[in-house]
Structure 1
Amino acid sequence: MSQLPEQPADTSIPTSADVARLAGVSRATVSYVLNNNTTVRISESTRRRVREAASDLGYVPHAAARSLRAGHTRTVLLPAAHVPAGPLQQRFFIDLQSDLRRLDYTVVQYGSGGLDPDEAARAWAELRPVAVVSPVGMALTRVGIGVLTRSGAKAVITLGPQPVDGAHALVMDQREVGSCAVRHLLSGGRSRIGVVMPQEPGLAPFSEPRLAGALRALDETGADARIQPLPLRYEEASAEDLAARWRSLGLDSVFAYNDEYAMLLMRALQDAGVEVPGEVAVIGADDLMLGRLLRPRLSSVRMELATAQPLAEMIDRLVQHPGGAPERHYLLRARAVARESG
């Protein structure tokens, strides 16, 4: 049975004083260098000497001690989402974590499964984060936001389809996705459009606004067309059942919520003898590579997230200057990518 190597009983944890002696500088200089303090002028050769000494000794700053000295942490909390993150959100959080670290923030991810919004806020507050970016699917309340701010959070930011009163908001308006997909189908001459409504738990905050966006596109264009919601589980049997009934529905196209549901339904339609795109045009969303490898290649809605200011810099600004009115930033941009499926 494997075991961890034994550590000598007299092994001591290196301190900043050890680094200072080895580098030939003061402890204050060590603190300035290792905490990336740019308000004090220190030569590059001295900074390099301190970093080399810290590396040789295996020293790292103590985050909790630094927080006590400063009176606040440098921790930005990124709680885990309660719904599966799509590729766009995954890239968003990877880039955000990298950018925050470059600004000398400690990024902590936190699992909040099984907690209601107020319980989650109290659990997050125990870590005394300086900022929280609340994920999609966690509907913070004013009570939870108050708990966080009273515990020292200078910026509470929500990410999701709708803003939350009392918090800054990064709004991903899912209506844009449904609207973009339906406008694409209408421009291709389709007029009897199905909209897939996933039956999996937790997806309603995405699917319902996408349906609303589809209906909005119909109103705005004034097209002589109709939209029919189509409940679908992410199971082959559910897709096969829908495909078997397809011709009786009288639909000539479908916005299938995203690329995964689109691929599931398109395969079932083809197996049922329904020609794509001859009898039915299919469009998904997310623009996954796998959808481009299908035959016919899958049309999709490509989404991008963009803010006027890089998000990590925006969080830093809100932390440095707390107390302002809640900000609203609409992130989501959508455009249809036409391929062979319609």
Structure 2
Amino acid sequence: MSQSSKPPQPAPVPTSADVARLAGVSRATVSYVLNNAEAVRISEPTRRKVRRAAEELGYVPHAAARSLRAGHTRIVLLPTSHVPIGPLYSAFLNELQWSLRRLDYTVVQYGSLGLSGDEAARAWAELRPVAVISLGEITLSAHNVATLKRAGARAVITMGPVGVPGAHALVMDQSEVGARAAAHLVERGHRRIGVVVPQEEGLELFSTPRLEGARSVAGAGIEALPMAYSEESAAALAARWRSLGLDAVFAYNDEYAMLLMRALLDEGLRIPGDVAVMGADDLLIGRLLRPRLSTVQIELPTGDHLAELVDRAVREPSEITQRQDLISAVAVRREST
């Protein structure tokens, strides 16, 4: 009867003491270097030596232990949005994440689909983030903000059309986008204006205030036009366009505008002769169309700017203004209007 061979023993987990021995420095120096301590001056050659030793051994600092020593984590929690927010906002969020990482924060995306405000706040709090950036997809209350702060969040930052008591509100007033679009069309002599309202779930965060902004413009007769982001939906809307009695459309953003414009042309409608078409976001591809797409150019803060604001809110929460307006918009006239 043969004896079964023993399974190989796992290699021991490297420690900071192993790194210190290999680098020829103290454990304190290893800690200072790998935790990016700014209060202690370490020469650059020593930093490189410690990092090389850590890489050779496969050593990484223990996040939980580091958090206990510091009294907080370096996690900035960014709840993952299921909303298709488009290239402009996607690029902005990508830049924000890179900027936060350069400031030595760990960005954690959290899937929050289907959670209520109370459920989301409790789930986020379990991770003990030092900051939370909520994109407005989940409606938070003052109670939710307090829950997060009791769990150690030094900053709760909301991005959306309205502020939340207790949070730093970065207000992105989407109604201005709709107002700029409708005002431009009215100035061009159009009075019966359709406004595309995307049928995709979640986009009402953007589409509802844009529709309301368009309705606020004097002289504009506004009709809401539900449309999904598909060729079939755009074709169905274009097929009944002549019966609507509209002479212009603000198509929510450039992507929906391009989709609808193609369908209108396929129906034999002239742009802008029969229908003036307006988008938003000022995407490059809109300038490559024929006719070139008129749009609303939206100016967002840079990711660096917002990351620095998060950092200041973490370090000195009382010094940050509770509300800041983050969006400005201007109509850009091109051939489609």
Q: Is the Cα–Cα contact under 8 Å of residues 180 and 301 in structure 1 kept in the other structure?
A: yes
Higher mean alpha-carbon deviation, 115-124 vs 9-18, is at 9-18
Q: Which residue of 1 aligns with 2:3?
A: none
Secondary structure of the structure 1 residue equivalent to 2:145: helix
Q: Which residue of 1 aligns with 2:149?
A: 149
Q: Which residue of 2 aligns with 1:294?
A: 289
Q: Does 1:317 align with 2:312?
A: yes
Q: Does 1:54 align with 2:66?
A: no
Q: Is the Cα–Cα contact under 8 Å of residues 167 and 326 in structure 1 kept in the other structure?
A: no
Amino acid paired to 1:105: Y
- Shift, 1:265, TM fit: 1.6
Q: Which residue of 1 aligns with 2:240?
A: 245
Q: Is the Cα–Cα contact under 8 Å of residues 277 and 294 in structure 2 kept in the other structure?
A: yes
Distance in 1 between the 2:131 and 2:108 partners?
11
Residue among 269, 274, 282 paired with 2:269? 274
Higher mean alpha-carbon deviation, 109-118 vs 318-327, is at 318-327
Distance in 1 between the 2:304 and 2:9 partners?
51
Change in 2 beyond 3 A, CA 1:302/1:225: closer
Deviations 1:235-278 (A, max 9, x none): 43433332233223222111011122212221221122211111
Higher mean alpha-carbon deviation, 303-312 vs 178-187, is at 303-312
- Shift, 1:292, TM fit: 3.1
- Shift, 1:37, TM fit: 0.8
Q: Which residue of 1 aligns with 2:174?
A: 174
Secondary structure of the structure 1 residue equivalent to 2:169: strand
- Relative to the length of structure 2, the TM-score reads 0.92
Distance in 1 between the 2:66 and 2:202 partners?
39
Q: Is the Cα–Cα contact under 8 Å of residues 77 and 108 in structure 1 kept in the other structure?
A: yes
Structure 1 runs (4+) greater than 6 angstroms displaced: none
Q: Is the Cα–Cα contact under 8 Å of residues 258 and 286 in structure 2 kept in the other structure?
A: yes
Q: Is the Cα–Cα contact under 8 Å of residues 306 and 333 in structure 1 kept in the other structure?
A: no
Secondary structure of the structure 1 residue equivalent to 2:279: strand
Q: Which residue of 2 aligns with 1:37?
A: 37
Secondary structure of the structure 2 residue equivalent to 1:110: strand
% same residue: 66
How do 1:106-185 and structure 2 match up within 5 A?
A: 106-185=106-185
Q: Is the Cα–Cα contact under 8 Å of residues 88 and 304 in structure 1 kept in the other structure?
A: no
Amino acid paired to 2:131: A
Secondary structure of the structure 2 residue equivalent to 1:310: helix
Distance in 2 between the 1:93 and 1:269 partners?
33
- Shift, 1:9, TM fit: 2.4
Unaligned 5+ segments in structure 1 are 1-6
Unaligned 5+ segments in structure 2 are 1-6
Amino acid paired to 2:15: T
Q: Is the Cα–Cα contact under 8 Å of residues 93 and 303 in structure 2 kept in the other structure?
A: no
Q: Does 1:196 align with 2:196?
A: yes
Secondary structure of the structure 1 residue equivalent to 2:190: coil
Distance in 2 between the 1:259 and 1:85 partners?
12
Amino acid paired to 2:241: W
- Shift, 1:19, TM fit: 1.0
Amino acid paired to 1:340: E
How do 1:7-26 and structure 2 match up within 5 A?
A: 9-26=9-26
- Shift, 1:212, TM fit: 1.7
Deviations 1:73-106 (A, max 9, x none): 1111001114223222211221111111111111
Q: Is the Cα–Cα contact under 8 Å of residues 82 and 136 in structure 1 kept in the other structure?
A: no
Distance in 2 between the 1:125 and 1:308 partners?
24
Q: Which residue of 2 aligns with 1:207?
A: 207
Amino acid paired to 1:300: T
Residue among 265, 281, 299 paired with 1:304? 299
Amino acid paired to 2:225: L
Distance in 2 between the 1:154 and 1:291 partners?
41
Q: Is the Cα–Cα contact under 8 Å of residues 134 and 159 in structure 2 kept in the other structure?
A: yes
Secondary structure of the structure 1 residue equivalent to 2:153: coil
Deviations 1:253-306 (A, max 9, x none): 110111222122212211222111111110111223333333222222222212
Q: Is the Cα–Cα contact under 8 Å of residues 75 and 107 in structure 2 kept in the other structure?
A: yes
Distance in 2 between the 1:329 and 1:308 partners?
15
Q: Which residue of 1 aligns with 2:332?
A: 337
In the alignment of these two chains, the number of paired residues is 331
Distance in 2 between the 1:325 and 1:99 partners?
19
Secondary structure of the structure 1 residue equivalent to 2:170: strand
Q: Which residue of 2 aligns with 1:3?
A: none
Distance in 2 between the 1:107 and 1:33 partners?
21
